[in-house]
């Protein structure tokens, strides 16, 4: 007896529709006209079925604080950092948990079942760390939450950060973070990358740093991050987030660094919604876009992802935790409009970040976790174009979210009757 059958599923990359059978939280069968008893059955109606979205870079401690205690009037990164500094001392475990759990609910409804969230370790009480460790436990049946120890005010610039980061890791935070471009000097930034990578290697943890989130073409801490990856044998376990300075670099240097990233399996994460609004702020015209070199990363086979970063917090007033909105923005800003490129952008919110987070059992093969999303679209390109409705979200073989198909009724050119109409080409 199966737990669930998803009928008429158009699995990403497959032309034909088939049925997916789930048992004990895993995908047990994939077959045409699957003939087996089951407790529950849903009809995907020939729509696209994808592994769930993965948000590889988020800030769950600051999310949904928009307007508290005041708005970011300039809309800049640095006013955002100082505004967060005003919010931090007043954080309570209850408030962080409440906002994080609400955000997780939004994410699940939009088909995201794994999130890597940075958590600021700069608060002497580690309030957000305690709260998010509790949230990680509470949401685990529905969503994989991975936490990064993030020294927001600088690992060396904040005199308490070294001890607090160590404490956060002892408490069970999963990944080591950093922010080398925010240290006092370039040399402090380099030393912070070295120190943090060594801590990760000693503890057997992954590394994910805010790295070179700057318009300064001279900011290339990614070079040290790569060299530490090689020295410590951490290939595949190290990630550079943002990497926006690469946008402004000389092509020769960028080319060398991209080659080294590939050679050492360093992952990249771009945050298109945030960096298109925060970068290039000191430019007059022309204004730089400030997004890292996504197209070149794809061409070189670097494992790159696109991530949300913020939803309604001191840095970004918008968002609803929708990874298709992230992909839509990334596709435009990075000019990923070639046929293969557009399809690859879908990988940047699914299989690529799953690799970065080293998620086990991710995918739609038999034996994988029965986690998936049914989208009101026929293929990944259409899903991004329409930011398609997430008709069903399935976690470990159970439907955890349902959304009605988007259908409008239109009266046109003098017709009396309303005609049902969907933007999806399937209808």
Structure tokens, 16? 């034909």
Residue nearest to Fe ion according to CB distances in the complex: 309
Interface with Fe ion (CB under 5 A): 309
Cβ proximity to Fe ion, 62 vs 376, nearer residue:
62
- Rounded distance between C-alpha atoms, residue 107 and residue 54, angstroms: 10
Is 213 marked active-site? yes
Which is nearest to 314 in space by CA: 287, 277, 349, 288?
277
- Rounded distance between C-alpha atoms, residue 406 and residue 23, angstroms: 30
Cβ proximity to Fe ion, 62 vs 127, nearer residue:
62
Q: Beta 175-176 vs 206-211: how paired, if at all?
A: parallel
CB of 63 to Fe ion, least distance (A): 11
CB of 274 to Fe ion, least distance (A): 7
Termini Cα distance of the chain = 33
- Rounded distance between C-alpha atoms, residue 17 and residue 32, angstroms: 8
Cβ proximity to Fe ion, 116 vs 390, nearer residue:
116
DSSP state, residue 355 = H
DSSP state, residue 74 = S
Residues in the chain: 427
CB of 313 to Fe ion, least distance (A): 10
Tell me which residue has tokens 């919604």: 273
Q: At what angle do helices 222-232 and 186-203 cross, to 10 degrees?
A: 30
Cβ proximity to Fe ion, 44 vs 60, nearer residue:
60
Read out DSSP for 374-416?
A: EESSSSHHHHHHHT--EEEEEETTEEEEE-----EEE--TT-S
Q: Find the farthest-apart pair of alpha carbons in the chain and give their distance in angstroms, rounded.
A: 73
Q: How far, in whole angstroms, is CA 393 from its chain's centroid?
A: 17
Cβ proximity to Fe ion, 4 vs 278, nearer residue:
278
CB of 7 to Fe ion, least distance (A): 40
**List 41, 86, 213, 409, catalytic entry:** 213
CB of 406 to Fe ion, least distance (A): 31
CB of 24 to Fe ion, least distance (A): 37
CB of 210 to Fe ion, least distance (A): 5
Cβ proximity to Fe ion, 265 vs 309, nearer residue:
309
Cβ proximity to Fe ion, 123 vs 309, nearer residue:
309
Tell me which residue has tokens 């050492």: 264
Read out DSSP for 125-156?
A: T-HHHHHHHHHHHHHTTT-EEEEEEE-TT-TT
List the catalytic residues.
213
């Amino acid at each position: 007896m199966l737990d669930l059958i998803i009928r008429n599923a158009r699995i990403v990359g497959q032309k034909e529709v088939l049925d997916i059978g789930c048992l004990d939280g895993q995908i047990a069968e994939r077959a045409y006209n699957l003939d087996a008893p089951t407790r529950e059955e849903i009809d995907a109606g020939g729509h696209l079925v994808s592994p769930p979205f993965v948000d590889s870079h988020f800030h769950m401690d600051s999310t949904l604080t928009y307007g508290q205690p005041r708005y970011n009037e300039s809309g800049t990164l640095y006013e955002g950092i100082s505004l967060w500094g005003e919010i931090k001392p007043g954080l309570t475990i209850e408030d962080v948990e409440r906002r994080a759990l609400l955000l997780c609910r939004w994410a699940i409804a939009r088909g995201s079942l794994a999130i890597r969230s940075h958590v600021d370790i700069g608060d002497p009480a580690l309030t957000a760390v305690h709260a998010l460790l509790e949230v990680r436990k509470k949401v685990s049946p529905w969503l994989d939450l991975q936490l990064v120890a993030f020294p927001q005010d600088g690992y060396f610039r904040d005199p308490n950060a070294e001890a607090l980061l160590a404490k956060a890791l002892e408490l069970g935070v999963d990944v080591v973070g950093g922010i080398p471009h925010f240290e006092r000097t370039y040399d402090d930034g380099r030393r912070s990358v070295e120190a943090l990578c060594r801590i990760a290697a000693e503890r057997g943890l992954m590394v994910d740093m805010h790295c070179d989130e700057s318009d300064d073409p001279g900011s290339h801490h990614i070079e040290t991050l790569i060299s530490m990856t090689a020295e410590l044998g951490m290939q595949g376990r190290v990630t550079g987030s943002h990497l926006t300075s690469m946008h402004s670099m000389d092509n020769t240097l960028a080319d060398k660094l991209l080659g080294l990233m590939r050679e050492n399996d360093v992952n990249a994460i771009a945050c298109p919604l945030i960096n298109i609004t925060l970068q290039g702020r000191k430019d007059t015209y022309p204004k730089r876009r400030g997004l890292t070199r996504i197209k070149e990363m794809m061409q070189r086979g670097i494992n790159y992802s696109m991530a949300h970063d913020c939803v309604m917090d001191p840095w970004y007033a918008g968002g609803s935790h929708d990874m298709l909105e992230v992909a839509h923005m990334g596709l435009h800003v990075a000019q990923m409009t070639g046929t293969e490129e557009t399809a690859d952008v879908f990988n940047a919110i699914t299989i690529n970040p799953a690799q970065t987070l080293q998620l086990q059992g991710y995918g739609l093969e038999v034996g994988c976790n029965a986690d998936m999303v049914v989208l009101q679209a026929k293929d990944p390109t259409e899903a991004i174009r329409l930011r398609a409705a997430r008709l069903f979200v399935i976690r470990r073989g159970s439907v955890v979210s349902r959304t009605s198909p988007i259908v409008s009724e239109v009266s046109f050119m003098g017709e009396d009757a309303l005609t049902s109409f969907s933007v999806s080409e399937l209808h």
